[in-house]
Structure 1
Amino acid sequence: MTKPIRILVPVNSQEAEALQLALGYAHKICEKVGQGVEDVILLVHTKHQLDHTSLSQFLGPRNVKALAKGPIALSGGGRLHAATMKSWRYPPRKSVVVVYYAEPKILDYVDGLNNIAGVVAVPDIPGGADDWVARWGAAVHGQAQQAPRPTLIDDAVFVRALETLSSVINLSKGLGHPRDKGMANEILSILRTKGHADQSGNIKSWAIRRGWRPEHASGLEALARKIWALKAKPNLSGIHDPEGRYQRWQAGT
């Protein structure tokens, strides 16, 4: 499966140039992907952002009214749709998504969608999409393309421990089963007790890139934050073979 093309447009969302650049990149992605990809989704949080903000001024009253009824033709070819997180779920055809007023919540939402050829993000505030850029190694307008980091967690033992968890649970359900949540709690408790640094700031992105759904990756992050927030290290007496498990993570077996 071809990975979506991801681009950040770090231009003030209150300037018309931001929308122009975003739509331009969306058009280029459609052309590059080919395969009949012609649909561009302009995604925002709420309907208010489509008809009562600077974005609506950039689109123009006529286009805003038309988009409320359905897609409109783009000047360079293709169709532009408008959608909100509440009104849109899964695109029937492979599409390019322009995420306007982007921030972590809406970008996580898009990361959980299928049938996406590309994503162009215009941040709500500077830095609002930095974690998303690091997660995927997204291209940044005006900057040289950087290769994505091989791993988002610079602790090989920590990564092997998380890989153990990912290999046995149902990634589509995350930690929904008490047994799986218990296993995650044990693994993270062992790592905390063995003196590993808090990686909760990177765990969500690591898990999403590993195939977890964003909402489940957030649950893993929350559990990690809870364990590293404990005043004392967790007691491992009730955990099966913590020393043996830890040694296997160290050895990579």
Structure 2
Amino acid sequence: MPNVQRLLLPDTNQSPVHVLAGVKVADRLCETSGTLDVIFLVPAKVSLTSGALHEALGTTMHSRLVKGVPVTLPSGAQMRCETMKTLKWVSKPSVLIAIFAGQDMMDKIDSLQNLVAVVAVPWTPDAIENWNRTWSPQVLGKPTKFGKSAAPAIKLIGDPIVEQAMKSLTSVINRSTAVLNATDDDHAKRILRILRSRNHHEPAENIKLWAIKNGWLPKTAERLEVLAEKAFALRSKPKLENPAHAEQSYQRWTEAAKS
């Protein structure tokens, strides 16, 4: 979801004002984008029926969401409640509010289509640290010295040759499925072994986050992380099949990294 607008509410005390602020932000996003659907995503049904959300949302809104009845927001958009278990897909353009967000919730959100914007309300300050590193979301209420609240994008892969190799891999694999097919899996192994043979190392988690940011589904990105961890952990340089072709690939990445 590279074109999704992503926003973070950094105050994590889960006060009623804080949760309701997420709804208001989503409503404004609907008004400016013309989006007519809002998803109020909670970890589980009990997250809605017990705790602070009754006070946060008010009796009328809370009661309707508990009953599965959509709520009409001031913009005219319809907001419905979903849980991690009930939300399978998004059929039309929607703004999603991630309430009590954890990394598993954000991974699920990253696998969804048709999202216009995501408003993250984390459970604890570091609960979605990887999501923050991946997307550098706009932090609401925290202006920077430039007068903007959007954090600068984080360079997820520091080694430019490794990044070019990952771009090459990304351009040829099937990113529409949650599992790498055998051919793509082998291709990833080959590229990672070439990098290791040239003494390149990169934290495997960084490669996973980079992959998610560049259109990989979280599950396939996790598989890439496992392969990267294994390749870069090899104590000695691996032997390569077709060394001449491996050399051509490496030179191509090197030239691309210079440009």
| Counterparts in 2 of 1:197 and 1:237: CA distance versus 1, 3 Å | closer
SS in 2 for 1:97: strand
Deviation string, structure 1 residues 145-174 (Cα, Å, up to 9, x no partner): 236427521211001111111122112136
User: Which residue matches 1:85?
Assistant: 84
Q: CA deviation at 1:226?
A: 2.7
| Counterparts in 2 of 1:237 and 1:217: CA distance versus 1, 3 Å | closer
C-alpha distance in 2, partners of 1:240/1:182? 16
- Per mean C-alpha deviation after superposition, the further-off stretch among 40-49 and 72-81 is 72-81
> Across the two proteins, how many residue pairs are aligned to each other?
250
Whether contact under 8 Å (2:68, 2:81) holds in the other structure is no
C-alpha distance in 2, partners of 1:85/1:174? 17
C-alpha distance in 1, partners of 2:166/2:77? 42
| Counterparts in 2 of 1:76 and 1:247: CA distance versus 1, 3 Å | closer
- Per mean C-alpha deviation after superposition, the further-off stretch among 37-46 and 192-201 is 192-201
| Counterparts in 2 of 1:234 and 1:85: CA distance versus 1, 3 Å | farther
| Counterparts in 2 of 1:150 and 1:102: CA distance versus 1, 3 Å | closer
Instruction: Work out the percentage of aligned pairs sharing the same amino acid.
Output: 34
C-alpha distance in 1, partners of 2:140/2:96? 16
User: Which residue matches 2:23?
Assistant: 23
SS in 1 for 2:12: coil
Q: 1:66 aligns with which of 56, 64, 67?
A: 64
User: Which residue matches 2:118?
Assistant: 119
Mapping of 1:145-156 within 5 angstroms? 145-146=149-150, 148-149=152-153, 151-156=155-160
TM-score (norm 1): 0.87
| Counterparts in 2 of 1:150 and 1:191: CA distance versus 1, 3 Å | same
Deviation string, structure 1 residues 39-96 (Cα, Å, up to 9, x no partner): 2211022112111232344235554342133212235643221001211122333111
Q: 1:233 aligns with which of 207, 231, 236?
A: 236
SS in 2 for 1:252: helix
User: Which residue matches 1:197?
Assistant: 201
Whether contact under 8 Å (1:11, 1:18) holds in the other structure is yes
Whether contact under 8 Å (2:37, 2:95) holds in the other structure is yes
Whether contact under 8 Å (1:13, 1:122) holds in the other structure is no
- Give the letter for the 1:154 counterpart: G
Whether contact under 8 Å (1:45, 1:84) holds in the other structure is yes
C-alpha distance in 1, partners of 2:151/2:58? 38
C-alpha distance in 2, partners of 1:165/1:138? 26
User: Which residue matches 2:51?
Assistant: 53
User: Which residue matches 1:182?
Assistant: 186
C-alpha distance in 2, partners of 1:88/1:55? 19
- Residue 109 (structure 1) aligned with residue 115 (structure 2): no
User: Which residue matches 2:4?
Assistant: 4
C-alpha distance in 1, partners of 2:44/2:226? 26
User: Which residue matches 1:250?
Assistant: 254
Deviation string, structure 1 residues 200-247 (Cα, Å, up to 9, x no partner): 1222221122221222112112221233344x1352244543333222
- Residue 128 (structure 1) aligned with residue 127 (structure 2): yes
- Give the letter for the 1:146 counterpart: A
User: Which residue matches 1:211?
Assistant: 215
Deviation string, structure 1 residues 87-144 (Cα, Å, up to 9, x no partner): 1122333111000111221112111111111110011110222322232231002222
- Give the letter for the 1:233 counterpart: S
Gaps of at least 5 residues in structure 2 are: 144-148
